[in-house]
Structure 1
């Protein structure tokens, strides 16, 4: 299929792009990598009247580390994230998740900002940013604001972005000392969206007991699921087999998967529980062995 007719404008500056978005609102869409937008346009699920190409705005791309955080421009492509050794050391959770995202051709073009703005609940990065406690900087023509990842995803394919706003930067706080992470997912084929995926971030105290835990899931709800409240059962203890099983059972009880042609809701719930156990155990072992 082919998209409905639209007007194409290649923006040369952020100010121009935001001015066009302010003028046209929901009738306009930003084009970055296009790996999510173009298929929906081809199937005519999206019919923007104006397509604003932002690929020429170089300031929107790049990875900028500092003492306390790392900021990633929204136009940064998956390929750049995957090939940055400093990012891999600081945020191994991202490095572990990236190979699960689609295929190399998609990762060569797709952008982190486009992915997060599309807000597909089966996608990995929304759950990853939620687990890492990220913040998103969004801009309109005459204002700017920060949105916590926990507030950004409000529904299926829906974010807190206003019609005249653009996601321009993602801020990632550095992990605490003695923190281990793990990302796991199960898909029918490599590159497919996950039947279920789990991201775990586990911080230990000097007695190897859990002092802080973040646990998020993708593919099992209308938004990425924050299951950290269920994982809090492990706080103050060494995560033994029985305790981790209790967390997995609590996760299974709190999610409400929609099912698909690839998996029933019950199977998704089962997979989420299995992956929760495995991810928590592996994150814990990585801390113990200094692997991050």
Structure 2
């Protein structure tokens, strides 16, 4: 099939972009890498009167380390992150999640902002953003605002972005050492979306006890989410790999809307999700303790 007819726009500045969005409202759709949007348009699962291409907009790509954070422009490709030594050193969880996204052809065109704004419940980047308490920079004709990751993802393929807002960048805090990170997922085939996955980040104090813990879950609900009960249960404790099963149980206990479909029942996804949390916890603790 072919997409429904649309007007194509290729702005070169963010100001021009948000002006187009303000003028067109919900009839406009942004496109960056197009790895999610183009198939939907081709199958006519979505149709828009205006398509606004971000590829030529200045200032939306690049990686910048400043003031204990790493700022990544929204149209920076996933392949760029995969090649970046800076990302591997400063935001290891993001670096480890990137190779799990599709195939290298997809990562060469797919963008950081596109994946986050698409907000697929089974995607890796939303879970990483939640786990690391990222912050989203947003622009409209009304001005700029910042949205914490905890408030950005609102449901299935939905975010806190208004119709006239442009995601310009995402900022990740750099965790101090000692720290450990891991992401684990289960998919039927390499490159498929995960049936269930977990991202774990652990930070230790001077005495070797957990003083920071974050657990992100994906593929297990309408959107990526955190596991606050499991996180709280680790605080102040000496981390150990044999805590993994208890933490996994706590992480899944609060979920009440695990999807059930032809790929797997809710019960199956719950068991797989618990296994992914346990596996990620063990790896993250091993790194935090032994470096």
TM-score, L = length of structure 1: 0.96
The Cα shift of 1:275 comes to 1.1
Partner of 1:271: 272
Q: What SS does the aligned partner of 2:233 have?
A: helix
The Cα shift of 1:262 comes to 1.5
Partner of 2:78: 78
CA contact (8 A) 2:138 2:144 kept: yes
Question: Residues 111-163 of structure 1, C-alpha deviation per residue, up to 9 Å, x if partnerless?
Answer: 01111111111100000011111000000023110000000000100000011
CA contact (8 A) 2:139 2:165 kept: yes
Partner of 2:284: 283
Partner of 1:178: 178
The Cα shift of 1:221 comes to 0.6
Q: What SS does the aligned partner of 1:60 have?
A: coil
CA contact (8 A) 1:205 1:211 kept: yes
Partner of 2:237: 237
Alpha carbon RMSD of aligned pairs, Å?
1.2
Query: Would you say 1:208 and 2:208 are equivalent positions?
Result: yes
Question: Residues 172-212 of structure 1, C-alpha deviation per residue, up to 9 Å, x if partnerless?
Answer: 11112211110110100000000111000001122322111
Partner of 2:118: 118
Q: What SS does the aligned partner of 2:188 have?
A: coil
CA contact (8 A) 2:127 2:199 kept: yes
Partner of 1:50: 50
Q: What SS does the aligned partner of 1:59 have?
A: coil
Q: 1:241 to 1:281 in 2, by over 3 A?
A: closer
Partner of 1:19: 19
CA contact (8 A) 1:200 1:283 kept: yes
CA contact (8 A) 1:213 1:228 kept: no
**Using the alignment, how far apart are the partners of 1:162 and 1:193 within structure 2?**
27
The Cα shift of 1:242 comes to 5.5
The Cα shift of 1:259 comes to 2.0
Note the residue ranges of structure 2 that are not aligned, 5 or more in a row.
Answer: none
Partner of 1:147: 147
**Using the alignment, how far apart are the partners of 2:280 and 2:124 within structure 1?**
15
**Using the alignment, how far apart are the partners of 1:241 and 1:32 within structure 2?**
41
CA contact (8 A) 1:121 1:224 kept: yes
Q: What SS does the aligned partner of 1:105 have?
A: helix
Partner of 1:226: 226
Note the residue ranges of structure 1 that are not aligned, 5 or more in a row.
Answer: none
Partner of 1:192: 192
CA contact (8 A) 2:241 2:281 kept: no
Q: What SS does the aligned partner of 1:162 have?
A: coil
Q: 1:62 to 1:241 in 2, by over 3 A?
A: closer
Q: How many residues are treated as equivalent by the alignment?
A: 290
Partner of 1:87: 87
**Using the alignment, how far apart are the partners of 1:10 and 1:213 within structure 2?**
42
